[in-house]
A and B are shown apart, each in its own frame.
Chain A
């Protein structure tokens, strides 16, 4: 029998999760680590198939079947909770129809180590279990670093996109943003109004008080325009002293007239800058987009330009709503139809 005892000692070192089974299917010896999975269990004498359920191959329901499955990969599970899954392989041992089944946690090693509070010493030195645990932790740490990098890059991307659509001096939207807003509104084919606003006498402020005063005026103007519009309206600075406002779902001329008048009135209040007063006004052209009219962006911008030009011609500091007659009055070419893509010949009124 010393051969068997020798064998147990060898297996305890090499395979601390092995179990020895007699011809009758009773456990005769168990490795120290496997024992840790059920420290209360009276292992020796217990029936192997009452402690473990064999999941695959399914046909194995008796020790005789198990004996036929030597050398192939077994999928087992502890019958009582926690029902840890194990991988195993059975081999025949000695002359008395005894079996040895060696077990391992397989891919569940991380959970296994946690559940049973195992240590380095519970695995054979050649077992790759600790290397696997190391790798799992190292990978999670590296993944966490990647995740953080991606979050920072995403933040930077959002900021860059925001910046790409923002006029940095005033914080208003820029031309690129307003093109996008108008295009979206046209796609939806829903009612909206488009106002174009040019400052009057702005050039004079720039020329006499300098660019710092000009910048201050533009920032003040931007604030007033945002104040006087709704949160769903989009206010943009196209550049210089030109501004555009898109007002969705607006069809009331009187309401727009009130907004325009209030804006001009507030802009005409002298803006103090370093002891001087900056006096400006504003001319506004306004056009409505009617759903189903088929007007495109180019046509709308052309029309709003005509209305703005009319305001300038009529003496500045006022708002004009676009209609076809304006073109006759101003001796400008009239659109032939919605698809007319004749280029506008309107000269931009110079600012100030």
Chain B
């Protein structure tokens, strides 16, 4: 699995709980090293072990934890670049949802060997959607739920998200839009530089 994915988990723990906690995670997961390099490839088998170790060290359930990772990815100042890249997906939250199918291709365009799980949007009505996520990254559905909930806030949209569980090698998150102009949302200028 790509180092960027492991590195994201490391930065989540370090930025939210401090480097000591991450050192503890590295020890608990028996990594044999402390720092993941964002641009190297690591063994896939590390992922479930690592997620279990983060859960154990922080005393959190894995679903909760991975949802927080999703939130972290698009809201922490250190990951502003990623939030901006998500906002390129669309002018409105619904457009963003419609761009999710392209997300793995967009990721590969940026980093050619970064393989994200398959993502599929299903539209039931103009306010009811579900997102099906592959699980080549364990618990990716929960990450997606945290990420989309935070992006809804970013667009100023009131949305209800619910984890529908896993089946057929994937996980499904349902999305119900309650109000599309609920709040002002965060600003996004196409030409601004991510700091």
- Please list the residues of chain A having a beta carbon within 8 angstroms of any beta carbon in chain B: 110, 113-115, 117-121, 130-131, 133-135, 137-139, 141-142, 145-146, 148-149, 152
Q: How many Å lie between the Cα of A115 and that of B192 in the bound state?
A: 10
Number of interface residues of B (CB under 8 A): 21
A117 to B187, CA, bound (A): 13
Confirm or deny: B190 has a beta carbon within 8 angstroms of a beta carbon on chain A: yes
**A121 adjacent to B91 (CB under 8 Å):** yes
Residues of A within 8 A of B40 (CB): 149
Find the A residue at minimum CB distance from B112: A142
State whether B191 touches A133 (Cβ < 8 A): yes
* Interchain CB contact under 8 A, B190 and A119: yes
Contact residues of B: prevailing secondary structure: loop
Chain A residue nearest in CB terms to B188: A119
- A118 and B39 contact, CB distance less than 8 A: no
> What is the minimal beta-carbon distance from A121 to any residue of chain B, in angstroms?
6
Which B residues are CB-close (under 8 A) to A145? Answer: 4, 38-39
In the assembled complex, the CB of B138 is this many whole angstroms from the nearest CB of chain A, namely: 23
Chain B residue at minimal CB-CB distance from A119: B190
Knowing A119-B190, A121-B91, A141-B81, the reply to whether A135 touches B109 (Cβ < 8 A) is yes
Q: Is the interface of A mostly helix, strand, loop or mixed?
A: helix
Question: Which 7 A-B residue pairs are closest in the complex by CB-CB distance?
Answer: A138-B110, A114-B191, A113-B191, A134-B88, A145-B38, A120-B91, A141-B81
Q: Are B84 and A148 in contact (CB under 8 A)?
A: no
Report whether B37 and A118 are in contact in the complex, using a CB–CB cutoff of 8 Å. no
Q: Report yes or no: B191 in contact with A110, Cβ–Cβ below 8 A.
A: yes
A46 to chain B, nearest CB (A): 26
For residue B194, which residues in chain A have a CB less than 8 angstroms away from its CB? 137, 141
Residues in A whose Cβ lies below 8 Å from that of B81: 137, 141
Shortest C-beta distance, A194 to chain B (Å), equals: 43
Whole-angstrom CA separation of A145 from B36 in the bound complex: 12
Tell me if B106 is interfacial: C-beta within 8 Å of chain A: yes
Bound CA–CA A117/B191 (angstroms)? 7
Distance between Cα atoms of A145 and B40 in the complex (Å): 10
Interface residues of B in 140-166 (CB under 8 A from A): none
Which B-chain residue is minimally distant from A144 (CB atoms)?
Answer: B81
Which residues of chain B have C-beta atoms less than 8 A from A134's C-beta? 85, 88, 106, 109
CB atoms of A137 and B84 under 8 A apart: yes
Contact A148 B38 (CB under 8 A): yes
From 80 to 133 in chain B, residues with beta carbon under 8 angstroms from any chain A beta carbon are 81-82, 84-85, 88, 90-91, 106, 109-111
For the complex, give the distance between the alpha carbons of A114 and B189 in Å. 9
